[in-house]
Amino acid sequence: MTTTIERTALPTIGISLQYSHTIGRAEFSGPGFRNPTAMARAEDDVMYVASRSYDYRPDGKRITMCTVGEEFISEFAKGVFEQGDGEPVATDGAIIWPTAITIGPNGNVYLADEYLDRISIYSPEGEYLTKWERSGDGDGQWNKPSGLVFGRDGVLYLVDCNNHRIQMLSADGEYIGQWGELGSGPGQFNMPFGIETDAAGNVYVADWRNDRIQKFTADGKFLMAFGETGDGPGQFNRPTDVAVDRDGAIYVADWNNDRMQAFHPDGSFAGMTYGQATISQWGIGKLEANPEMWEERKIAQGLDREKLFWGPIAVECDDEGRIFVVETARSRIQVFQKQTPLFYGVNERVAGGGGRL
């Protein structure tokens, strides 16, 4: 008797990713997020998540400190401006329209706020340290900062969205250099958004309104670009963020297509996912406090929609091969685990070449 194996569809992600779990629930305070826009991974599984909330609910604007395993640690930078008829009052440490968050070489937390044209800096525990508030278009000034990342050698790359350029700063905020201008040619930008660096120090920029990703050397020399407007594989509709894993694979938050795409290091398309969310631990806690909703879920129609990304705005990788996708409209983060091959034919990272990792 012969056993036959049915041919089935291969996994969606060419670069093999396995869905891990979902973090978060919609909350204005405590365990959860409200319209999160950015996250950063730190030591010991700690992560920082910036929530923008509704503008009429400034109490939900905050940075949440938690772990990948959904342990809530604390929250800071919250609720310290007053909404009235006039301009908001933003005291030191407050956030209004957060766009990006990253960890400095010394573990401090850097946050970009595009409403205030402000970079706020906090200790790893969330204590406010200082700010750089420099509106303008001159050297070391910015107009709606939308991306932040530290590169090799401690250079801080800042995406200066409405000036359509990338600026390089020291960790203390001193101006080092810049590149880019408005346009669609190599090295030009149209409202760039997220940014990332790889192990070699190269810089990747989500060129938002040009619907493409651009790659540069650490000092801004153009290397390559990929992507175009559309909803097919390798096409984008307003990509908001880019991340690069330890092997050089590139992940893009394809915001208006509500998906995350993966690319090989040369920019060729590898795969995509539209999301696989499940109920988070915090979500289970909420439902257990509202048991009637478990019953409503049993008869709800179209519940599969809950799996799908809605407003994927940020993507982040960590050194454990995990990819995090932040969803603004669902107040949660979906986590994927990259499946590393058990055996490598040739593995430069293992002394002596190939073999079992």
Partner 1 sequence: MPTNQEIAQMAHLMRRAGFGATYAELEQRAADGYEATVEELLNPTAQPDLEMDILERHFVDWREMNALEVNQAYWTYRMINTQRPLQEKVALFWHGILCTGNSKCEHGRQIQLQLDMFRELGMGNFDILLKGLSRDPAMVFYLDNCMSHKGSINENWGRELLELFAMGVGMDGHANYSEDDVKEAARAFTGWTITNAIPRYPYGRYESGFIYNPYDHDEEDKTFLGETGNFNGDDIVEIICRQPSAARFVSRHLYNFFVADEVQVPAWQNTPPRDPEAIALLEQTYFDSGYNLTAMLRVLFNSDFFKNARFEKVKSPTEVVIGTMRLVQDFTAPKLGLQPLANTIRYMGQDLMNPPTVEGWHTGAEWIDSGTLVERINFAADQVGNTSLPGIQEIVSRLDSEQVTGPDAIVDRCLELVGAYELAPETRDQLVAYAGGNGAPAPGTPEYSEAIAQTLQLIVSTQEYQFA
Site residues (vs partner 1, CB under 8 A): 25-26, 35, 37, 52-56, 83-88, 96-97, 114-115, 191, 193, 208-209, 238, 240, 256, 277, 279-280, 282-284, 286-287, 290, 293, 296-297, 299-303, 305-306, 310-311, 313, 328-332
Q: How far is the CB of 22 from partner 1 (least distance, A)?
A: 9
Among residues 214 and 257, whose Cβ is nearest to partner 1?
257
Q: How far is the CB of 153 from partner 1 (least distance, A)?
A: 31
Through-space distance between the first and last CA atoms of the chain, rounded to whole angstroms: 38
Among residues 170 and 229, whose Cβ is nearest to partner 1?
229
Among residues 218 and 279, whose Cβ is nearest to partner 1?
279
Q: How far apart are CA 142 and CA 118, in angstroms?
A: 9
Q: How far is the CB of 222 from partner 1 (least distance, A)?
A: 25
Q: How far is the CB of 231 from partner 1 (least distance, A)?
A: 14
Among residues 86 and 352, whose Cβ is nearest to partner 1?
86
Q: How far is the CB of 54 from partner 1 (least distance, A)?
A: 5
Among residues 267 and 283, whose Cβ is nearest to partner 1?
283
Contacts of 213 (CB under 8 A, 6+ apart): 204, 205, 206, 207, 225, 226, 227, 236, 239, 242, 250, 252, 263, 267
Q: How far apart are CA 324 and CA 39, in angstroms?
A: 9
Q: Assess contact for 245 and 302: CB atoms under 8 A.
A: no
